[in-house]
Amino acid sequence: MEKVKKMPSKFIPMGKAEKVKTSKYALDGKQIRKIQKLSMQLNLETIELLEKINSKLVEVSLSPHFSSWEYVISCYEKENLKNKITRRDVEIQELKEKIVIQKQLLKDYEYDYLAIIELGRALELLNKV
Site for another protein in 42-61 (CB under 8 A): 42, 46-47, 49-50, 52-54, 56-61
Closer residue to another protein, CB minimum distance, 14 or 54: 54
The distance of closest approach from Cβ of residue 47 to another protein in the complex, given in angstroms and rounded to an integer, is 6
Residue 94, Cα to own-chain centre: how many angstroms?
Answer: 17
What is the distance between the alpha carbons of residues 123 and 117, in angstroms, rounded to a whole number? 10
For another protein (CB under 8 A), the number of binding residues is 76
Please give the Cα distance from 127 to 129 (Å, whole number). 6
Considering only residues 97 to 126 of the shown chain, the ones binding another protein according to CB under 8 A are: 98-99, 101-103, 105-106, 109-110, 112-113, 115-117, 119-120, 122-124, 126
Contact 64, 9 (CB under 8 A): yes
